[in-house]
Amino acid sequence: MKLSKKICCFALIFAVLGFCINSEAFDLPEFAENIFSGQEYNPSLSGDEIINYGLLFSCATDTGCKISAEKYNFVKQLINSENIQSLSEEERAEKILFLMYENILSKYHITQNRLDVAFEKGTYNCVTATVLYTALAKNAGLSVRAQKTKDHCFSTLYTSDGKKIDIETTNPYGFNPGVKKDLSENKDMSRYTVVPKSNYSNRLEVSDRVLVSLIAGNLTSRMIARNDYKNAVPLGSLRWYFVQQENSQGSEGVRRDLDVINFNYAKDLMKANRDEECLSWMNKVISAFGMNQYSAKNFDDIFYNLICNKVNGRKFSEGYTLLESGKNYLSEASFTKYTGMVKESEWIYKLNEMLQKGQYLETSSMCDAALLDLGNNKTVSSIKAVAEKNYAVTVHNEFVDYYNADDYDGARRVLEEGLQNLPGNKILLEDLKILNGN
């Protein structure tokens, strides 16, 4: 009886995450100088301060500042006139909204985030309109506070008799939205308008400082969209310095926005395979601004991908060096997890390399060492099983050659050696049964 040979099956897949990102040139940006250091902090600002800081965060030119000041001072004189000051608080607040549109604002544009452009060209969005209205209302002696939702910004008037009235600053008729307004110019003709009462749910009342800083927040978002971190980083850091002494949800949002800028830049460095610069940048960020819950998570996520890059490149020693450099910033759990990841990958790479070379017994023995180092590991156990099966198949095929040539002594010698190396192997025991039955 002729016996057939078995086919060796040693194909194992070693898969880890990889990136295919085009490398780009980066100049590491710098954080802004903290020009607010040493100043007395007050979350509430005067009208003039709001305009000045608004122009600062708009990155306005000298010419833009001059034009803005002229228009602002002109309207400021109007609202401080006896006619306006003699009005009730509600009448004054509504009149200021009209004057703002009669003299400065003319066209809404959702992405027009700069206060100087609002003065120069009349184009505005909800942030620039609310900043301007807040400054004018404060100069008129009114108590107004900014409200922020996820996608919108508006004002609320607080009257001395306890009323709270919303003001939709993107519309000249936005005082107390939802209320019918009489636009009649004479007794013979009446016109009315109603500004819809928008969805102002989940509003967050923010300080004057946080309000003004929203200008920079919008500008940095657009800078990030075009990968302009050279300007986004200093502007975002300046924005944080402006509100960092404030303990509020609004200031927390500003810090979160700064973290988004800094860690998005780190991700771009990582995707461009500039791992060392990425790590250097993250260390620089944490040294400058400290670690919070959000930045800790981002650091952890980026670090994970950096480790994956090292594993993908089979740069295991660099992976261990990277882990040591990030040890002070990673949680103990993450450090242990990522160390185990590098160690496991290094073992699996070595074991697969030996397996591919046909070193089956050596691979099986090395798997025992790996399991001792790693503990229970399914991948290593699978490699060990494949190595032992491939060894048994190799012995079986050699046995078949002797058996088919009627060299039963040679066949027995091969089987006995194989069973000495793999006692109890089912393939070899089945071959021995065939040989003994001959």
**Upper half-sphere CA count for residue 289 (Cβ side, 13 Å):** 31
* CA-based nearest residue to 95, from 159, 26, 174: 174
Task: Please report, rounded to a whole number, the percentage of residues in the chain having pLDDT higher than 70.
Answer: 89
Which two three-digit tokens encode residue 177? Answer: 């939205």
335: CB partners within 8 A, 6+ apart: 323, 326, 327
Higher pLDDT, 195 or 395: 395
Q: What pLDDT is recorded for position 182?
A: 61
Label residue 210 left, alpha or beta by phi (over 0 means left) and psi (-120 to 50 means alpha).
alpha
Least confident of 68-72, 320-324, 346-350: 320-324
Q: What pLDDT is recorded for position 16?
A: 26
Within its chain, how far is the Cα of 392 from the centroid? 52
Question: Which residues make beta-bridge pairs with 337?
Answer: none
**Upper half-sphere CA count for residue 180 (Cβ side, 13 Å):** 5
Nearest-10 Cα torsion for 193, 164, 52, 250: -120
Q: What pLDDT is recorded for position 1?
A: 52
- SS3 assignment, position 14: coil
* CA-based nearest residue to 91, from 175, 164, 170: 175
In the predicted model, what is the mean pLDDT of the chain? 88
Q: What pLDDT is recorded for position 192?
A: 47
- Residue 123, judged by CB atoms within 10 A of its CB (0-12, 13-18, 19+), counts as middle
Label residues 374-388 b or e (16+ Cβ within 10 Å = b). Answer: eeebebbeebbebbb
Asked if the model's pLDDT at residue 5 lies above 90, the reply is no
Asked if the model's pLDDT at residue 187 lies above 80, the reply is no
**C-alpha span between 117 and 212 (Å, rounded):** 15
Q: What is the mean pLDDT of residues 305-322?
A: 92
Q: What pLDDT is recorded for position 38?
A: 87
The single-letter code of the amino acid at 145 is R
Q: What is the mean pLDDT of residues 136-153?
A: 95
CB 128 within 8 A of CB 205: no
Residue with tokens 């192997």: 425
First to last CA, the chain: 10
Q: What pLDDT is recorded for position 105?
A: 96
Task: Please report, rounded to a whole number, the percentage of residues in the chain having pLDDT higher than 90.
Answer: 75
Q: What is the 3-state secondary structure (H, E, C) of 134-189?
A: HHHHHHCCCEEEEEECCCCEEEEEECCCCCEEEECCCCCCCECCCCEEECCCECCE
Q: What is the mean pLDDT of residues 202-223?
A: 96
Question: Which residues make beta-bridge pairs with 334?
Answer: none
Q: What pLDDT is recorded for position 6?
A: 54
Asked if the model's pLDDT at residue 275 lies above 90, the reply is no
Asked if the model's pLDDT at residue 186 lies above 60, the reply is no
pLDDT digit string, tens, across residues 109-129: 999 999 999 999 999 999 999
Q: What is the DSSP letter of 39?
A: S
Q: What pLDDT is recorded for position 201?
A: 79
Cβ-based neighbour number of residue 193 at 10 Å: 11
Higher pLDDT, 185 or 136: 136
Binning pLDDT at 50, 70 and 90, where does residue 438 land? low
- SS3 assignment, position 86: coil
Label residue 96 left, alpha or beta by phi (over 0 means left) and psi (-120 to 50 means alpha).
alpha
pTM: 0.77
Asked if the model's pLDDT at residue 306 lies above 70, the reply is yes
111: CB partners within 8 A, 6+ apart: 125, 218, 222
Q: What pLDDT is recorded for position 178?
A: 76
**C-alpha span between 115 and 109 (Å, rounded):** 13
Asked if the model's pLDDT at residue 14 lies above 70, the reply is no
Within its chain, how far is the Cα of 71 from the centroid? 39
Within its chain, how far is the Cα of 434 from the centroid? 65
Distances (CA, A) of 211 to 30, 40, 130: 25, 18, 8
Which two three-digit tokens encode residue 111? Answer: 């992405």
Which two three-digit tokens encode residue 264? Answer: 């998005």
pLDDT digit string, tens, across residues 338-351: 999 999 999 999 99
**C-alpha span between 164 and 221 (Å, rounded):** 32
* CA-based nearest residue to 211, from 121, 124, 132: 132
Binning pLDDT at 50, 70 and 90, where does residue 296 land? confident
**C-alpha span between 314 and 352 (Å, rounded):** 13
